[in-house]
Amino acid sequence: MDATRRLAATFARVVQSPRGRALQMNAGAAAASGDILVFLHADTRLPQDAFSSVRSALKEPGAESGTFRLRFDEESPILRLYGFATHLPLPQICFGDRALFVRRTVFEEIGGFPEIPIFEDLEMARLLHRRGGFHFLLQHATTSARRFLHVGPIRQQLRNTYLWCHFMLRTDPLSVARHYSYEISLHAPTSNLKEAQHADL
């Protein structure tokens, strides 16, 4: 165990939960006190005006949720291309590193992140977009390119696309998760898995 929790505790409240991003984000949301929730990966930075942009977006009639565009912290033509794809207003590519935001009341109505072991971010974006009031902000969140640089940008993207295609085809999330390249919890409740697997696209 490294010093992450100790260091983080000097800047914010640290909440402990079982493994699994969905479980962890739901635990964080339960501990938060604000009426707007922003879910941010540890290796992603928000733009300087992020919170004012989120508040402005949610002041619009019917606005409930949204996300940012994405750029990487390293420059290369292929990474710029990947980032440019996030200019498209498609919920199917609203991955968690784009920093999802949502009204607390809406988050609770939906029931939080579905407790599946992979692509809980895309499933949440799909549910929110289907409700309406989903905003694609013009500002960019900046995320780490370390995985792309370690594996190779094209090879990593091919891996990502392979998994994404299985998600879009509604493959059992447990099966998809076994092909992901780092350890994640494979103990999501079966009912949630089935609900996500058979939900309408």
Q: Domains in the chain: how many in total?
A: 1
pLDDT confidence tier of residue 180, bands split at 50, 70 and 90: low
76: helix, strand or coil: coil
Give, to the nearest 10 degrees, the angle between helix 120-131 and helix 21-31: 60
| Mean per-residue pLDDT of the chain | 86
pLDDT for residue 8: 83
The CB-side HSE value for 120 (13 A sphere, CA atoms) comes to: 24
pLDDT at 193 over 60: no
The verdict on pTM exceeding 0.85 is no
Task: Please tell me the distance from the alpha carbon of residue 136 to that of residue 147, in angstroms, as a whole number.
Answer: 25
* 117: CATH: 3.90.550
Domain boundaries, position 30: 4-197
Q: Which residues contact 163 (CB under 8 A, 6 or more apart)?
A: 118, 119, 176, 179, 180
